[in-house]
Structure formats: structure tokens, C-alpha cells
Amino acid sequence: MGQISVEDCGIEGLKVITPAVHGDSRGYFMETYNIQDFREAGITETFVQDNQSSSVRGVLRGMHFQVKYPQGKLVRVIKGEVFDVAVDLREDSETLGKWFGVRLSAENKKMFYIPKGFAHGFLVLSEEAEFFYKCSELYHPGDDGGLCYNDPELNIIWPGEIGPEELNIVERDRSWPSFSEYLAGKQH
């Protein structure tokens, strides 16, 4: 792997990727995606859609997934800082219901690979953040699923520098089911 270092996250498939940054007096250069390096790291997804969002401090987006057309994602921040979280929803996984979070920023240039079968969300920690992600499946309107971001069973520990009164969450993201409700719904 020439241009990236890869860190496993304790949940099979999740990876934090740090690209090699080549800097000089003019600025810097880095490869954000190279199919050969990623395949050597065990990431064999073919990405078919790129998305970018801009959000202000305190925005929490998540915890999202597509139900029938799950997406693998490679996410990074190109301006600002977020706390990015993935929750394992794979029924056959030993870590079903476990989460992992990582700070992604324009400064640290880290990327987070989230394979299919995870719920995903992030909290904006900086005054503004631009978030970029590659997806392995196209977005399908009406195929949205989600989990409650503050479900006590999941016990996601969001960074304390954003207080509950600062959270900016759309009603849809406030009303997702708990993890137990999600699992009970899969039984039907």
C-alpha cells in the first residue's frame, strides 16, 4: 500500500484510512482514492456515486442506511471537523449493534470506510463542515432507514463539546426507531 495507512476499528470491515500527504512551500498533494491501494487494504467496493454536504456546528445527520439497496461508503471531511459514527447492523455479525466513532477533519485528512450493513451518521464539531463521501450503491428515494441517534441501548458517546441544546436535528432523524424496535421490525 503505497499512499495510505489503514487502521482496523475492532468491528470487522470498518477501517480508518490515513493518506500520505506530500507537502512543501506551495501546499500539499494527496491521493484520496487509488483502486490498487484500496484493494490491497481489502476494500473491493466499486463506488458509483459521490456526494457532498455542508453543515453548520451542532448538525447531527443520522443514523442512516438504505434498506433494500445498502451502500458501502468512503467518507471524509474537506472543511472543518465532524465526529463520524457507524453502527453494525449485519445480522450474522458478532458485533451486531456495536458502534465505532472517529473524528474526521480537513486537518487530519483521515477517511472512514463503512461497508454495507451499517447505519451511519455524523455530528458537526466545527463552525461549518463540508463532508464528502463515495457510495457503492446509488441513492434510492423511499429506501431510507435509520436508528435513533441517542438510543440508550446503542449508547453512542457523542463528543461533549456540543451540548444537547446546540443539536440541530431534523424531525425525521429525531423519530427513527430504537435498535430494539429496528430488530423487532426485521422479524416480521
Annotation says 133 is catalytic? yes
C-alpha 126/C-alpha 59 separation (Å) is 10
**β-strand partners of 134:** 50, 74
* From 64, 120, 149, 182, the catalytic residue: 64
For 61-114, the three-class secondary structure string (H helix, E strand, C coil) is EEEEEECCCCCCEEEEEEECEEEEEEEECCCCCCCCCCEEEEEEECCCCCEEEE
C-beta of residue 100 within 8 angstroms of C-beta of residue 11: yes
Annotation says 182 is catalytic? no
* From 69, 113, 120, 133, the catalytic residue: 133
User: 25 exposed, middle or buried (CB, 10 Å; 0-12, 13-18, 19+)?
Assistant: exposed
Nearest 5°: phi and psi at 4?
-140, 155
* Active-site residue list: 64, 133
